[in-house]
Amino acid sequence: MERSIKNAFLEQMKGWANESEIERMWKEIEKAYAAKNRFYHTISHLDQLLTELKICLDLVPYWQEIVAAIAYHDIIYSIRRQDNEEKSALLAVARLQAISWPPEKIELVRQLILATKGHHAAGFDLINYFTDADLAILGKPAALYQQYAGNIRKEYRIFPDFLYRKGRKKLLQHFLEVPRIYKTAQFYQLYESQARTNLTWEIAYLDGVAERP
């Protein structure tokens, strides 16, 4: 399978549009994720999501939809909006309709993108794999997690510390309170324990009682 989201996107769109049209689609994606206000939600995040999902062989029959959902799931990203996922899904639908994707494939892409809003358990394992992969960063080694946390703070740099701490801690506490952060056995085994350690550390860090190692 492809090593980067760019290669994956260009490869999986073959047969649906001509080369120049596919390239235009990619350039739009690339430009969005290269915006100056992004520090975590970048092309690197998409590459990591692709890497996480490549190991899930059950997903192979849906690989085109997965690649499209990865590419578009954060294409609209504004820290002031509450509807980024909905807007991203709408844009994905429009672009895929324009190259005559079948409605059922487009609908699956739409569902995958919308699922990243709450990361709730779904009745379809494909969605659970996708949202688990989106949260994989939570369970990475401490140094990587701390880099991620710092990049999220940069994305919210317009907010003063007291407001940021309040909102961020609420989100982190939510993840700690759910019985399982990761819905699939594969991601649970890989990341659950370290994710809870990382989240606990960040809350303490935001409270001023923990430091970066």
pLDDT tens-digit series, residues 143-177:
999 999 999 999 999 999 999 999 999 999 999 99
Q: How many domains is the chain partitioned into structurally? A: 2
Same domain, 93 and 170: no
**What is the structure's pLDDT at 2?**
64
Same domain, 76 and 161: no
The answer as to whether 116 is a domain residue is yes
**What is the structure's pLDDT at 57?**
73
Residue 194 dihedral angles phi and psi, to the nearest 5°: -65, -35
Same domain, 114 and 54: yes
**What is the structure's pLDDT at 56?**
84
Same domain, 76 and 57: yes
Q: Tokens 């578009």 belong to which residue?
A: 72
- Choose the final residue of a domain: 137, 158, 176: 137
**What is the structure's pLDDT at 139?**
99
Domain encompassing residue 72: 5-137
- Choose the final residue of a domain: 137, 162, 187: 137
Same domain, 153 and 177: yes
User: Can you list the positions of beta strands (E) in the chain?
Assistant: none
Give the list of residues 6+ apart from residue 139 with CB closer than 8 angstroms, or none.
145, 181, 182, 187, 190, 191, 192, 193, 194, 195, 198
Same domain, 132 and 144: no
Same domain, 45 and 105: yes
**CATH code, domain with 104:** 1.10.3210
Same domain, 133 and 146: no
- Choose the final residue of a domain: 137, 168, 183: 137
Alpha-carbon distance of 90 to 112, in angstroms, equals: 12
The answer as to whether 12 is a domain residue is yes
Specify the pTM. 0.95
Nearest alpha carbon to residue 12 among 72, 94, 55:
72
Spans of the chain below 70 pLDDT: 1-2, 210, 212-213
Alpha-carbon distance of 132 to 116, in angstroms, equals: 9
Same domain, 10 and 78: yes
DSSP 81: -
**What is the structure's pLDDT at 181?**
98
The answer as to whether 145 is a domain residue is yes
Same domain, 58 and 131: yes
**What is the structure's pLDDT at 17?**
95
